[in-house]
């Protein structure tokens, strides 16, 4: 299953602090030797201020209670730097902690800046010190303090680039604290800025969208409404185009969301076309399963892929946590995926066969005969499929379903304007890229 691990592709698109939860999961699943995970943690920690944590990992990696002198010296430097930054930011921190004084702030930033300078002698230097203090707190692993100070900093900051940087930091902190509702709000704020901001080049904007989608995985596979919202974000033309050009591995998560989300079937047909287009640039058992069912109509291969999908889900850092504990509606993601996967096979198989042997169908659904019969009876009762079971012959009889010509015409033309818009957008972005290169 390590062959299907996407961590090496995902990690470069995350803040280094966001990589630690992935490594913890992989260590728990034992996908890699324990020493490899500890080595990776040490390499990440060397670029942060979490020196105490780095010392603990060093002891575990080298099986010793001693730590190098440079770690001891580094810890002293971090403590001294933290105290210095705290002193520099203290005038503004004290003001913000004074509830009566804090209420003097208004929505207009310029008024706030002038009021702070005139009444409390707080100017740009102290505001910048607050940002540096918040950033240092984050690097030390104090995500709660960092989130609070970054929020306050953004209420005073007039530099759009620095304000966006603080918003990314606030988003990371909320994710690491598992505050999923707040994290979703911050995610939407970042998205709004990315989509409306004027970037130096279209490529920079695409890169920001790719970062946003990677960070969003933490939220969407933990938030109650995440499986719907990931489709809303990833399936937008601009974001789907970014996936296809620079991050096709994200198709795994969009595919999983489509499988477990019965309410998004109208968009599902177009997504199958994307799976077909991208099969040469990215494949895993989840995308291959959909291709087997809806492109190749190879149901024996689909059955094999369905079993592999279960392993992929269990060992994926984002999907695996919900695979067994319970999904968005307290249903394990693995069970929900497999149930809908069987439904996909059944629906597609029934549409191309009028009479189906129950034993053959049970085999393709990876169930025994009795389980398959109960499952199909329940499905027919709740589904729109016009079918009945002949118990004497052990077959499922499908009523012929002739396609409506007018519905087919509407289906083929309704997305024409969307595809035209997408084509024009791609041409304009290409032209802007060439102009920027000149």
Residues 220-241 have a mean pLDDT of 94
pLDDT at 116 over 70: yes
**pLDDT band per the 50, 70, 90 thresholds, residue 330:** very low
pLDDT at 18 over 90: yes
Is-contact 49 136, C-beta < 8 A? Answer: yes
pLDDT value at residue 101: 77
pLDDT at 294 over 90: yes
CA–CA dist 79, 140 (Å, integer) = 10
pLDDT at 391 over 70: yes
pLDDT value at residue 341: 93
CA–CA dist 26, 87 (Å, integer) = 40
- The set of residues, in sequence order, having a beta carbon less than 8 Å from that of 136 and lying 6+ positions away, is 49, 81, 82, 85
pLDDT at 365 over 90: no
Closest among 88, 20, 29 to 48, alpha carbons compared? 20
CA angle 2, 6, 8 (to 5 degrees): 95
pLDDT at 384 over 70: no
What is the end-to-end Cα distance of the chain in Å, rounded? Answer: 45
Whole-prediction pTM: 0.86
pLDDT at 402 over 70: no
Could you read off the pLDDT of 42-64 as tens digits, one per residue?
A: 999 999 999 999 999 999 999 99
Mean pLDDT value across the chain? 88
pLDDT value at residue 44: 96
Could you read off the pLDDT of 135-162 as tens digits, one per residue?
A: 999 999 999 999 999 998 998 888 999 9
pLDDT value at residue 326: 42
CA distances 124 to 20, 112, 121, 159, 324, Å, are 34, 12, 10, 11, 50
State both tokens at 238.
Answer: 């601009």
pLDDT value at residue 257: 95
Provide the residue ranges of all domains of the chain, joining segments of one domain with +.
180-247, 273-352, 356-401, 411-437
Is-contact 226 219, C-beta < 8 A? Answer: yes
pLDDT at 324 over 70: no
pLDDT at 163 over 80: yes
Could you read off the pLDDT of 77-112 as tens digits, one per residue?
A: 999 999 999 999 998 888 878 878 777 877 778 888
Of residues 2 and 224, which shows the higher confidence score?
Answer: 224
pLDDT value at residue 158: 87
pLDDT value at residue 410: 59
SS (H, E, C) the chain: CHHHCCHHHHHHHCCHHHHHHHHHHHHHHCCCCHHHHHHHHHHHHCCCCCHHHHHHHHHHHHCCCCCCHHHHHHHHHHHHHHHHHHHHHHHHHHHHHCHHHHCCCCCCHHHHHHHHHHHHCCCHHHHHHHHHHHHHHHHCCCHHHHHHHHHHHHHHCCCHHHHHHHHHHHHHHHHHCCCHHHHHHHHHHHHHHHHHCCCCCHHHHHHHHHHHHHHHHHHHCCCCCHHHHHHHHHCCHHHHHHHHHHCHHHHHHHHHHHHHCHHHHHHHHHHHHHHHHHCCCCCCHHHHHHHHHHHHCCHHHHHHHHHHHHHHHHCCCCCHHHHHCCCCCCCCHHHHHHHHHHHHHHHHHHHCCCEEEHHHHHHHCCCCHHHHHHHHHHHHHHCCCCEEEECCCCEEEECCCCCCHHHHHHHHHCCHHHHHHHHHHHHHHHHHHHHHHC
Closest among 204, 169, 328 to 257, alpha carbons compared? 328
CA–CA dist 178, 358 (Å, integer) = 46
């Amino acid at each position: 299953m390590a062959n299907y691990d996407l961590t090496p592709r995902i990690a470069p698109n995350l803040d280094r602090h966001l990589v630690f939860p992935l490594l913890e999961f992989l260590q728990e699943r034992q996908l890699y030797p324990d020493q490899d995970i500890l080595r990776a943690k040490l390499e990440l920690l060397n670029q942060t201020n979490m020196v105490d944590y780095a010392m603990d990992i060093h002891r575990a990696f080298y099986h010793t209670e001693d730590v190098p002198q440079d770690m001891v010296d580094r810890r002293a430097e971090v403590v001294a730097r933290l105290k210095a930054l705290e002193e520099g930011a203290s005038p503004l921190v004290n003001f913000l902690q004074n509830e009566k004084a804090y209420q003097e702030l208004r929505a207009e930033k310029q008024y706030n800046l002038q009021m702070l300078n005139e009444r409390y002698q707080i100017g740009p230097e102290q505001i910048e010190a607050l940002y540096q203090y918040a950033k240092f707190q984050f690097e030390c692993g104090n995500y709660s303090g960092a989130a609070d100070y970054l929020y306050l900093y953004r209420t005073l900051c007039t530099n759009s680039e620095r304000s966006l940087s603080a918003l990314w930091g606030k988003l990371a902190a909320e994710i690491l604290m598992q505050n999923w509702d707040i994290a979703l709000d911050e995610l939407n704020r970042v998205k709004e800025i990315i989509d409306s901001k004027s970037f130096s080049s279209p490529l920079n904007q695409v890169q920001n969208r790719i970062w946003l989608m990677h960070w969003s995985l933490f939220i969407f596979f933990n938030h109650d409404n995440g499986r719907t919202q990931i489709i809303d974000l990833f399936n937008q033309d601009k974001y789907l185009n970014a996936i296809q050009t620079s991050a096709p591995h994200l198709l795994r998560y969009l595919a999983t969301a489509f499988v477990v989300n019965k309410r998004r079937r109208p968009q599902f047909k177009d997504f199958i076309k994307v799976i077909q287009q991208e099969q040469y640039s990215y494949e895993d058992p989840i995308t291959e399963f959909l291709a087997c069912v809806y492109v190749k109509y190879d149901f024996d291969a689909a059955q094999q892929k369905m079993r592999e999908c279960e392993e992929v889900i269990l060992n994926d850092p984002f999907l695996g946590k919900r695979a067994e504990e319970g999904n968005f509606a307290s249903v394990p993601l693995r069970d929900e995926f497999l149930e809908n996967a069987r439904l996909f096979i059944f629906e597609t198989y029934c549409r191309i066969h009028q009479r189906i042997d129950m034993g053959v169908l049970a085999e393709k659904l990876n169930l025994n005969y009795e389980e398959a019969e109960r499952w199909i009876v329940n499905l027919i009762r709740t589904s729109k499929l016009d079918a009945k079971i002949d118990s004497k012959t052990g077959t499922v009889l499908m009523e012929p379903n002739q396609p409506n010509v007018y519905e087919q015409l509407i289906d083929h033309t309704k997305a024409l304007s969307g595809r035209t818009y997408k084509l024009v957008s791609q041409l304009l972005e290409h032209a802007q890229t060439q102009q920027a290169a000149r």
